Amino acid sequence: MKDFVVGDNLAFELSKLLGFDYLKVEERIFSDGEVLPKLEKEPKINQAILIYQKKQLENINSYLIKYLFLSKKLKEISQKVIGVMPYYPYARQDAVFLEGEPVSSLYLAQILEKSLDIFITCNPHEHRQKLSNLFTIPAYNVSLFKEMSEFFNDFDLKKTVLVAPDREAKTFIDEFSQNFSSEKYVFLKQRNAQTGEIEFLESDFDFRDKEAIIVDDVLSTGKTLLEIAQKVKNKGTKSISFAFVHFLNESAMDLIKSVSPKKIITTNTLENRYFKLNIVKPLTNFLKENIF
C-alpha cells in the first residue's frame, strides 16, 4: 500500500514535495446544489493526506460537505487519514453568546474527527478555545505569520512598527516578530454592551515617520482593518501595509486598498488572486518535522 496526497492543486504540489503519490478529486454539482466529490480511482492506501482549498465563489457549506464526504470515503480505504483544512470555518462561534446558540466550532470538530486520525489547519480563530480543546484526536495549528514576515525584509526594523488591531491579535505580532524584531503597538478594543458598537482606544504612541504593518488573522469585511489603518495614518505614519492569513472576499480588499497600502501580504489558504505566500511549503515542513 502507498501513501497518497488527495485533493486539488494544493494536494498536487504537496505530493511533489513529500514524495507521495497524488490522487485527484473530481467534482460534480447537481441542479439542486448537491455536491458529489469523487476520487479519480480507489486504491488501497497506507496514509492519506486530504488537503482541499475552498474556491473563491464557493459557499462555505458546500465546501464543508465535500470535505466531510471525502474524509469519510478515505477512512474506508486507508489505514490512516490526515486532514489538512487550510481554513477552519465556524471557529468564531466557540461559545454560547445568546441562549439557544450552538457551539459551532466544537460541533464541527466532533464531526470531522470521526473520519480523521489527525487534523491540521492554519491559524484558526483561537481567541477563547484552543484547537486542541475542540478535538479528541491530535489537532495542530500551523501558524504562517513567521513566514509572512519574510516579505518585509526590505523594511528598516528601527523605523517599523507592528500593529495589532486588538489584544487578541497580540499573539499574531509576537509570532510575526520572531524573524522581524521591531516595535509593537496593540490597540485596545472596547465594545458597547448595549449597542454592540466597537471603539478603539488610543494612546500617545508616536507613529510619525514609521512604516506600520497591520497584522491580523482574517480579512473579512475589511472595516476593522480600515479603521485601524485610518487611525494610524492620522498619526503621521510614513506608510501602511497589511499582513493577514485568510482572505475572504474581494470587496474587503477594495476597502483596505483605499488607504494606498505599501504592501498587502496574504496566503492561499482560500483561493484568491492576491496571495504572496504559498502555504504548501510551510505545511510540508510541518508534516516532515511533526508527523512523518
User: In this predicted model, what pLDDT tens digit does every residue of 41-61 receive, in sequence order?
Assistant: 999 999 999 999 999 989 999
Give 98's contacts (C-beta < 8 A, 6+ positions apart): none
CA distances (Å), 173 to each of 110, 143, 188, in order? Answer: 31, 12, 15
CA angle in degrees (0–180, nearest 5) for 148-149-154: 125
Percentage of the chain modeled with pLDDT above 90: 81
| CA 79/CA 40 separation, integer angstroms | 19
Taking residues 103-114, what's their average pLDDT? 94
Q: At what angle do helices 223-234 and 250-257 cross, to 10 degrees?
A: 10
- How many angstroms separate the CA atoms of 85 and 51, rounded? 6
Average predicted confidence (pLDDT) for the chain = 93
pLDDT reported for residue 196: 58
What is the band of 194 on the pLDDT scale with cuts at 50, 70, 90? low
Beta pairing partners, 119? 83, 139
In this prediction, residue 92 carries a pLDDT of 80
Rg of the chain over Cα atoms, rounded to whole angstroms, equals 20
- What is the separation, in whole angstroms, between the first and last Cα of the chain? 16
The reported pLDDT for the residue numbered 188 is 85
Class of residue 69 by CB neighbours under 10 A (exposed 0-12, middle 13-18, buried 19+): middle
Q: How confident is the model at residue 98 (pLDDT cuts 50, 70, 90)?
A: confident
Please state, in angstroms and rounded to a whole number, the distance separating the CA atoms of residues 152 and 160.
Answer: 10
Mean pLDDT value of segment 84-109: 88
- Stretch 271-278: mean pLDDT: 97
Report residue 168's pLDDT band, with 50, 70 and 90 as the boundaries. Answer: confident
Which one-letter DSSP state was computed for residue 40?
Answer: S
Cα separation, 124 vs 128, in Å, equals 11
pLDDT at 272 over 90: yes
Q: What is the pLDDT of residue 232?
A: 93
Q: Which amino acid is at 196?
A: G
**pLDDT confidence of residue 212:** 97
Give 270-283 as a DSSP string.
B--S---B-THHHH
Residue with cell 492506501: 45
Question: DSSP secondary-structure letter at 169?
Answer: G
Structure confidence at residue 200 as a pLDDT band (50, 70, 90) = confident
Look at the chain and count its residues. Answer: 292
Cα 148 from Cα 269, distance rounded (Å): 13
Q: How many angstroms separate the CA atoms of 91 and 109, rounded?
A: 10
Same fold, 2-143+278-290 and 145-265: yes
193 has pLDDT over 70:
no
Q: What is the pLDDT of residue 191?
A: 65
Listed by start position, the domains of the chain span: 2-143+278-290, 145-265
pLDDT digits over 64-79, tens only? Answer: 999 999 999 999 999 9
The answer to whether domain 2-143+278-290 has CATH 3.40.50.2020 is yes
User: What percent of the chain clears pLDDT 70, i.e. is strictly above it?
Assistant: 97
For residues 186-206, give the mean pLDDT.
72
pTM to 2 decimal places:
0.94
Rounded Cα distance between 87 and 142, Å, is 11
Q: What pLDDT sits at residue 195?
A: 59
Class of CATH domain 145-265:
alpha beta
d(CA 124, CA 143): 9
Show the cell assigned to 56: 473563491
The model's confidence at residue 266, banded by pLDDT at 50, 70 and 90, is very high
